[in-house]
Structure 1
Amino acid sequence: MPTPPPPSPDHGDPHGFCLEPPVAVQELQAVAVQGIHLHTGLRVLCLEADDPENVLAICFPTVPVDDTGVPHIAEHVVLGGSAAYPLRDPFVELLRCSMATFANAMTFPDRTVYPVASNVPADFCNLAQVYLDAVFHPLLRRESFLQEGYFLSPSSALGSRPALREQGIVHSEMRGAYAELETVVQAAVMAQLLPDTPYRYDAGGVPAAIAQLSYEDFLSFCHSHYRADRALVFFYGNLGVPTWLQLLDRALEGLPASLPAPPPQFPGPVPWEAPRQHLLSVTMAPDETPEDRSAVVLAWHIDNAVDLDAHLQMDLLDHLLLGHPGTPLERALTESGLGDDLFLSGYDSERREPTFMVGLRGCASSNRQRFRDLVLQTLRRAAAAGLPPDTIRAALNQMEFSRRLIDGQYPVLLAEEALGFWVHGGSPVQAISLEEPLRRLRDRVMDDPQFVPDLIRTRLLENPHRLLLAARPDAALTVAEQGRASERLARIDGDLSDRERHGLREQEERLHSWQETPDSAADLERLPRLRRQQLPKHPPLPTSETEHLGEAILLTNHVFANGLEDCIQAFELPFLPPRLVGLLPLFAYCLGRLDTERGDYASLAARIAELGGRVGAGCCVRRAKPGEGNHPVPMLTIRCSSLGGEFASALDILTEVLLTTRFTPSERLTDLVRQRRSRLLASVLGDGHLIAAQHASEGFSQAHRLRSGWYGPLQLRLADGLANALPGSLASIASDLAEIRLHVLAAGPGILAHTGSRAAAQTLRQHTTAFQAASSAPACPGAPPPTDGAPQPVRSALAVAANGAHVAWCVPAPRFPASTAPLLELGAHLLSLGEAWEEIRAKGGAYGASCEYDAIFGTLSFLSYRDPTPARTLAFFEDLAHRADGFAWSAAQIEEALPAVVRTDQRPRRPPQLTQEALHHHLQGISYADRDTYRQGLLEATPQAVVAALCEALQGGLACVGACALGDPELLAELGREVPFPTAPLLGERTQDHTKSGL
């Protein structure tokens, strides 16, 4: 392993900080330096590493005292203007003009974290200045509080006396969150399991309680919590301690003197003498089944405080009991027939009071005692008999893999790990220095056969602080809650005096005036920005090497991967019959989860875990290359990752899964079909904007339709239909999946992308040669999918139980490598963080709004997320397209936007991303010359060229617009008042014949 960089020379007392001696963190190839700002008491951890991606994360303890969501609202408002940058929304301005690899703010159950990162030094310093000024010198304007939090609007209702409407971005976000079963059950578990701690409250906010928060109480919270003496600051990267501390010291100028504040003090939960139960009634919409809204959870409070060894022991227990389909608890529950899928399961140390939970979605409340007994019996058996050594090694290897993995947000995740332990009173350096604690744990577990059984007994079986909670759906509750909400607003409305009503109107008018008043040129000039000449003129060179090995193509990246290996094998399936295309995602889901000729699925899962890695499959669409006509190609991809010494075994498992998976009618296949349906339906509210976009654009081309069939409403209906048709359809499903496998094997060895060591690449070559010999199969007859005709417009509303809606408005656009492609990406970015953000998020109260250009498929999309006013949003998108020729951006605005668009192809490439990128570029025919031409198109863009490209795409696509809204049926009903907008249930009509639900 390379040695860590030497510490910066000045660790004595630079920039007003008292610093501790540097500590080498060998496993991270880094040096850690902790210090305290002598004047303000602020604490800092600097982690120097040879990594160009620099990270700043600022953390404040924000323990909630009620459900008003004040920590969450503060998280939003704090970024809305500061002393040095008194803009209306400097955060959005940064997103418009920065090369940030990460920029966000997050509310955790007991803390708020502001992380930002960039791999461009000047850009990182700009970002750090703005973020530091935001958190230490926020303006906390009333208008920002209303916009981001909550206010009553009397201006938008019909009738002579306007009724009231609730608005506010956080309010919209949390209304959407509380439509999801996970949020409701998680909140109830915390309230019941830890009722005498602050964790009984939701720091994100409960919608009804958010309405009770006053501006004065909000200010009081911010002034008492956002103090330098309470702040914990984390730096990471290669800029070095002196640079970081200088940035920090400047931001702290003028703040009051203080000593460091201790971690927040509050009593822990009173230990229970006996387990408890709770029956939770939850809403159920007319289009939902009881199974959709049922779940049972068994939850324990784990008294770990800030003991790192105890945390790792519970993490080990999580891997041993729930780490893969063959582990005791997961296998017992999925085979029990009591429900469809695991739910809220695992060890959670996000809070100072950790929990361990085991849950099952789709489990009826009437089966809660059977569920509890099954869990406890499984634990007793594991404690009595112990667990096999190979099972324990597998769990330890999984933990080792997680520790070594350098993924896309690696440094930001390091910050979260360090800050999460630090804010509870632990050592942040210990939290990220896991090599020695894991070695101690491995030694204890392997030397003492009773260690794991004792852990199960003491932490779980003999722990009376245990809650059994069952969610019971109640259709009447839905009606009652809607009635109470309407009555509450009607009561408030009826109690308003004329003066109070006039005050609400004036408040909204002042808010709109503030929102519509542009920032002054002088204030905008204060914001530090990158200039065109500071941007990289060319994209990073590719790291992959291409070679042909028989019929296979190998793409190899020889880079440092911290002892891990990563490989993706891709198969082209151009002749897959249309009746099987829709089943390809299910086929991919089953790979690695079914029995093989070597053994059952549980033993397979255990062997995969022992590699310390993962095996999983998916599907994607390859657009036609020049000379191939216009036939999109369905692709199957299967990925394996492992510890370096286990790579050969991982490839053997890959071959075993592809060649010998048993696609036969079985209880396991039944479980997987139901499990996948459960997971897809659970993702609808979180991914509603993506589902809507897939559906809206499906008429543009065969490639769009193919992708929508996998990730849009058609796949949801197919998955639901398959599950509903069981067991009668099981034999047919198994037969179809077996037929798909024949097509995969007939495709040859495919394309393999690898990232890791050269020795592993040689192992991959040997595997590929052997796979070609073992997998030879006759070609499967078939015909390619039809070519594209004229684009077909889609206009529909998809009703689903939700508190809000998601809107997608799409037009076809030129595809990469068209000369207008970089111009369209630049224009989409300007609209996304310009008019779309202002109108849909800031004024409309939606949680999210964007304009996105997909250069591979050729789509320009306008999207909203958790949107309380979808009819207004759709009208705005339509209007925006009609006035495209009136867009007017200056040369300065184009230059300011360039960094944010250039960053897409300039981000740090971590090992897993290198594997994916090499495969993507090969499949889609993207050369380095293409990328460089695209970069020059961006750097040479003019306002006139950007407007012309957008105008051509938007106004040229008006004849075939695709529009889809997904969400609350009452909100969707507003869409059809002026223009016909057909509405149907998201899942459509239920079918018993899965062949009728295909593409």
Structure 2
Amino acid sequence: MTLRINEVLHGFKLKDTKELKEISSKAYVFEHEKSGAKLIKIENDDDNKVFSIGFRTPPEDSTGLTHILEHSVLCGSRKFNTKEPFVELLKGSLNTFLNAMTYPDKTIYPVASRNEKDYFNLMDVYMDAVLYPNIYKYPEIFMQEGWHYNIEDPKDDLAYNGVVYNEMKGAYSSPESLLYRMVNKTVLPDTPYKESSGGDPEFIPDLSYEQFLNFHKKYYHPSNSYILVYGDGDLDKELGFLDQNYLSNFDRVEVDSDIPTQKAFQEMSENEFEYGVSEEDSLEDKTYLNLNFVIGNADEGELALAFEILAHMLLKTPAAPLKKALLDNGIGKAISGEYSGSIKQPVFSIIAKNCNEGDKEKFKAIVFSTLEELASKGIDKETVEASINRIEFELREGEYDGYPKGLIHYTRIMDSWLYGGDPFVHLQYDNYFENIKAALKEDYFENLIRKYILENKHSSFIMLKPKKNLNEEKQKALKDKLTDIKKSFSEEQVNELINKCKNLKERQNAPDTEEDLASIPMLSIDDIDRKAEILPIEERNINGVKVLYHKLFTNKIAYLNLYFNCDALNSDDVVYVRFLADILGKLDTKNYDYGTLSNKININTGGIAYSPVSYSINGDPDNFNPYLLINLKTLLNKLDNGVELLGEIIKNTVYDKEDRLLQLIKEIRSRIEGRLIDNGHRLALRKILSYCTEKGKYDEITLGLSYYEFLCKLEDSFSTEKQDIISKLKEVSKALFNKNNLIISYSSEEEDYKTLEEVAPKLVSYLEESDIDARVFSFGEIVTNEGLLTQGNVQYVAKGGNYIKKGFSYNGALNVLETISGFDYLWNNVRVKGGAYGVFANFRRDGGAYIVSYRDPNLKETIKIYDDMKDYLNNFTSNEREMTKYIIGTIRKLDYPLTTASKSEVAVANYLSNITSEDIQRERDEVLKADEKVIRSFAPLVQCVMEQDLICVVGNENKIKENKELFNTLEKVIK
């Protein structure tokens, strides 16, 4: 289609066009004349089409209004009058992405699908949701998703409940999350950014239903909208749909959503905040120190890219000079930071974790003296080149696990478009790289450091300190507050609250009518490809080493994965597989110090990553294959360089530098520790699987809480055990890096396979070549049913077992059971009624099965819901339409689009698990044949899993102790 500037198509006037060669696309900028809606079409040959509508939504306070509204508009609308169209779409759509996101200044609603019919269905539901939501008809939506007083009997104590309220209780439990929420508050205090758009649990109950509705009326209007359509869809059809069904119903209005600019500070802002630790915890090494600098404006494309590179250069590699200076001077155990560009005035942050209050001035002094020295004497040019190359490689590779490309482009567009800037300023980066590469000869980054950090007073310092019993004090204050509130209510008011809760429960319990459910558009089974996709994999051999080759278009990037079998290790040494993965490439080698090595890796590759992986043998609960996986990605013409660097790491790593080894142990421990509370569901489910499968025990040792505990022991005993640790590292690395242990996986086009053949002899030359004495792991008896205590305010509740060991077998329709339970029984009972943020079930091929909740205010009640799932399944009924929906939603998960890199990894995982293409097709056939009788047949399987009574709960210390009879042991998570 050829369009001219100012031409009108379906009410949309074309304002501009742009060739975006960096992403092989053409952009069209439109404005809908009647409604004022702004729209961009990114046209290319990507069949993973993306639609998103966003609104500028500056928060007015910290009640989480924007976040609650994001949840609530997806709970039914004018055309789609079910309680949760969002969930119905998850059940029965082939979407490749479906979500909504609240940012500090905007709310976006993106969807994606490779199926055109599905794409327009998704667009229809989302447009109706944001413009015509049921929030005006049903105040219970606000109560459910936001907050409400929870009370069922006049004698009961008052309590707060609500999905967002509980979600944010969990978010505010993590000190790192709390710190990040304070950054904008301290540097942009006269703007909406000072507020918590997600919601501060202390203030969420201040939000009224009237405020909530008024905010939607004001900001959710097409005149305040920013729409993207992306991919190979028909532009004429897309614009016609939006105009005729939605936008033509609205007249242009003035929406005052402009975000004020923060006036620059004359001096740095100093701030202190507190987070809670328990009475028994030490306060040592638990303080966070943080510096923040406001960096220009959002629409400065080159500056944004330059600071992304600078953040990488200063803080994110082993060679990073600022990170190294702080750690070498004993400031903290881990250093991090980032450039946050998705706000009107971007911010650059530097964070030191696990510090002490007394480190404050030293932290500042080292940061500024190091930056002054870098600005004056210059940054090592190899360090500069390394970071430029790494960021450029990632941008040009354009692979995004979990997110469609169109959504990534939309967020970058919004980083300037939302503030009135050129929408494409962050996508047209070729010229920026040309300018930035002047830094290889000139003082480009040195000048940035001086102007935007050393001479920039628009900055803040934050100290986040631990305080004993702070959480207990807050819980008591909350309890007292609710007691006082209840006392202030008359009997009539209390009864009114009880009635409101009753009405909420009645709405939650009432099933949607068949007529309402039929309003949700869905595909038919005929829209599904009955044949499973077969990922390319071919067994070859080079120099006596098995090669698994994947013929894929890789855009001249070589994806080389090395799988080193771990069977030669003793059971006690398994934990060193993960430890090696965490330190390889970060230590000196025979020919390079670790900083130089890091630079050479980033100059010559797109990264080398190390990770422990394991694959259960198809349907066998006791056997699995463990590997250390090394991923190397690089341009084809640099594969030889990449292999040479990898060989240097494998063969010549120096494990004897005690100071560096201890520094890495502290850093890794600190990094993991910072994630433990937010990842409680992962800790819990890994514990459950460790109770019931050998693979689960292995994974818990290498990926779970046990690994964190191992690091704690290493740090605490390092002075006396360091020689043993070093010896063990040498021993394990020698056992692993053996030619007879190795399987190579390689992805390229056929004509580029010769590149691997050329470098393979060099790769093999770095390896040992001795016979492998394979051993059988024996991890012995382990403690089950653990209560893992945190200072968090919510729980992660897991229960599971192994069904194959009880005589049941794997069936592909168990995938459908996951869909049904996750978006029906568990969703309705644990999330909707219980107030948890999320819940899901998983039934694995090796028989391992679990259910786990996320940010859950409950504990015992949730476990009872899990136990009662058998009754739900025994009585399960579904009409043909609903069953079709569940099947389509399941196929969506099976057919999720994979990146080039992940295609090869999934193909190898199937290969190493002895899962054949016939198995994959049979699983798909079992999904497609699933009916209510099949689902009912799983009731005994679920019952047998729950009756194994294997429980793990991560969460609030007091809550778990109140239910201590459920557990065999109680243990603190953070050491």
Aligned-partner Cα distance in 1 for 2:852–2:278 = 25
Query: What does residue 154 of structure 1 align with?
Result: 151
Query: What does residue 994 of structure 1 align with?
Result: none
Residue 370 of structure 1 deviates from its aligned partner by 0.4
Aligned-partner Cα distance in 2 for 1:475–1:185 = 18
Q: 1:421 to 1:10 in 2, by over 3 A?
A: closer
**Residue 494 of structure 1, aligned match among 484, 487, 497:** 487
Residue 706 of structure 1 deviates from its aligned partner by 1.2
Query: What does residue 993 of structure 1 align with?
Result: none
Aligned-partner Cα distance in 1 for 2:621–2:165 = 50
Query: What does residue 858 of structure 2 align with?
Result: 869
Aligned letter for 1:267?
A: P
Contact 2:146 2:163 in 1 (8 A): yes
Superposed CA offset, 1:1-43 (max 9, x none): xxxxx86899943222112454322222222111111210101
Aligned-partner Cα distance in 2 for 1:242–1:629 = 54
**Residue 191 of structure 2, aligned match among 161, 178, 197:** 197
Q: What secondary structure, in the 3-state scheme, does the structure 2 residue paired with 1:599 have? A: coil
| 1:250 maps to 2:238 | no
| 1:823 maps to 2:819 | no
Q: 1:782 to 1:561 in 2, by over 3 A?
A: closer
Query: What does residue 947 of structure 1 align with?
Result: 936
Query: What does residue 144 of structure 1 align with?
Result: 141
Correspondence list, 1:652-801, <5 A: 652-746=644-738, 748=740, 750-758=742-750, 760-779=752-771, 781=773, 783-786=775-778, 794-801=784-791
Query: What does residue 42 of structure 1 align with?
Result: 37
Aligned-partner Cα distance in 2 for 1:281–1:133 = 43
Aligned letter for 1:250?
A: Q
Contact 1:620 1:637 in 2 (8 A): yes
Aligned-partner Cα distance in 2 for 1:878–1:649 = 56
Residue 830 of structure 1 deviates from its aligned partner by 0.4
**Residue 304 of structure 1, aligned match among 293, 297, 308:** 297
Contact 2:794 2:856 in 1 (8 A): yes
Aligned-partner Cα distance in 1 for 2:239–2:450 = 48
Q: What secondary structure, in the 3-state scheme, does the structure 1 residue paired with 2:954 have? A: strand
Q: What secondary structure, in the 3-state scheme, does the structure 1 residue paired with 2:660 have? A: helix
Query: What does residue 899 of structure 2 align with?
Result: 910
Residue 92 of structure 1 deviates from its aligned partner by 0.6
**Residue 598 of structure 2, aligned match among 605, 626, 629:** 605
Q: What secondary structure, in the 3-state scheme, does the structure 2 residue paired with 1:592 have? A: coil
Correspondence list, 1:93-492, <5 A: 93-140=88-135, 141-155=138-152, 161-253=155-247, 255-258=249-252, 264-286=257-279, 288-291=281-284, 293-343=286-336, 345-405=337-397, 406-408=399-401, 409=403, 410-442=405-437, 444-446=438-440, 449-492=442-485
Aligned-partner Cα distance in 2 for 1:629–1:902 = 25
Query: What does residue 803 of structure 1 align with?
Result: 793
Query: What does residue 936 of structure 1 align with?
Result: 925
Aligned-partner Cα distance in 2 for 1:625–1:116 = 34
Contact 1:407 1:913 in 2 (8 A): no
Query: What does residue 985 of structure 1 align with?
Result: 971
Q: What secondary structure, in the 3-state scheme, does the structure 1 residue paired with 2:747 have? A: strand
Aligned-partner Cα distance in 2 for 1:928–1:8 = 47
Residue 306 of structure 1 deviates from its aligned partner by 1.8
Residue 399 of structure 1 deviates from its aligned partner by 2.1
**Residue 843 of structure 1, aligned match among 833, 843, 856:** 833
Q: 1:917 to 1:11 in 2, by over 3 A?
A: farther
Superposed CA offset, 1:462-482 (max 9, x none): 111222221221114334323
Superposed CA offset, 1:950-977 (max 9, x none): 224213334423211110022223434x
Equivalenced residue count is 969
Q: What secondary structure, in the 3-state scheme, does the structure 2 residue paired with 1:704 have? A: helix
Residue 753 of structure 1 deviates from its aligned partner by 2.0
Residue 794 of structure 1 deviates from its aligned partner by 3.4
TM-score w.r.t. structure 2 length?
0.95
Contact 2:281 2:468 in 1 (8 A): no
Q: Which stretches of structure 1, 4 residues or more, deviate above 6 A after TM superposition?
A: 6-11
Aligned letter for 1:510?
A: N
Relative to structure 2, which stretch is displaced further, 496-505 or 470-479?
470-479
Residue 629 of structure 1 deviates from its aligned partner by 11
Aligned letter for 1:145?
A: F
Aligned-partner Cα distance in 1 for 2:793–2:621 = 45
Relative to structure 2, which stretch is displaced further, 411-420 or 244-253?
244-253
Contact 2:285 2:355 in 1 (8 A): no
Contact 1:100 1:116 in 2 (8 A): yes
Aligned-partner Cα distance in 1 for 2:756–2:484 = 70
Q: 1:818 to 1:663 in 2, by over 3 A?
A: farther
Superposed CA offset, 1:213-244 (max 9, x none): 00000001111010001100011111121122
Aligned-partner Cα distance in 1 for 2:648–2:302 = 37
Q: 1:551 to 1:818 in 2, by over 3 A?
A: farther
Superposed CA RMSD: 2.4
Aligned letter for 1:903?
A: R
Aligned-partner Cα distance in 2 for 1:939–1:32 = 39
Aligned-partner Cα distance in 2 for 1:445–1:386 = 10
Aligned-partner Cα distance in 1 for 2:800–2:929 = 27
Aligned letter for 1:208?
A: E
Contact 2:28 2:41 in 1 (8 A): yes
Superposed CA offset, 1:762-794 (max 9, x none): 2222322222233133346563124999xx993
Contact 2:101 2:109 in 1 (8 A): yes
Residue 359 of structure 1 deviates from its aligned partner by 1.0
Residue 341 of structure 1 deviates from its aligned partner by 0.7
Contact 1:852 1:860 in 2 (8 A): yes
Contact 1:172 1:868 in 2 (8 A): yes
Query: What does residue 887 of structure 1 align with?
Result: 876
Aligned letter for 1:640?
A: L
Query: What does residue 996 of structure 1 align with?
Result: none
Contact 2:222 2:247 in 1 (8 A): no
Superposed CA offset, 1:308-359 (max 9, x none): 122223223223322411021121123222211124x121112111111111
Aligned-partner Cα distance in 1 for 2:623–2:887 = 34
Aligned-partner Cα distance in 1 for 2:54–2:656 = 53
Q: What secondary structure, in the 3-state scheme, does the structure 2 residue paired with 1:571 have? A: strand
Query: What does residue 997 of structure 1 align with?
Result: none
Contact 1:284 1:293 in 2 (8 A): no
Residue 858 of structure 1 deviates from its aligned partner by 2.3
Residue 619 of structure 1 deviates from its aligned partner by 0.5
Q: 1:942 to 1:862 in 2, by over 3 A?
A: same
TM-score w.r.t. structure 1 length?
0.93
Residue 563 of structure 1 deviates from its aligned partner by 4.4
| 1:651 maps to 2:643 | yes
Q: 1:612 to 1:7 in 2, by over 3 A?
A: farther
Contact 1:742 1:777 in 2 (8 A): no
Q: What secondary structure, in the 3-state scheme, does the structure 2 residue paired with 1:587 have? A: helix
Q: What secondary structure, in the 3-state scheme, does the structure 2 residue paired with 1:748 have? A: helix
Q: 1:491 to 1:292 in 2, by over 3 A?
A: farther
Q: What secondary structure, in the 3-state scheme, does the structure 2 residue paired with 1:728 have? A: helix
Q: What secondary structure, in the 3-state scheme, does the structure 1 residue paired with 2:322 have? A: helix
Residue 299 of structure 1 deviates from its aligned partner by 1.1
Q: 1:543 to 1:947 in 2, by over 3 A?
A: same
Contact 2:295 2:347 in 1 (8 A): yes
Query: What does residue 639 of structure 1 align with?
Result: 631
Correspondence list, 1:585-600, <5 A: 585-600=578-593
Contact 1:884 1:955 in 2 (8 A): no
Aligned letter for 1:420?
A: D
Contact 1:747 1:779 in 2 (8 A): no
Contact 1:301 1:353 in 2 (8 A): yes
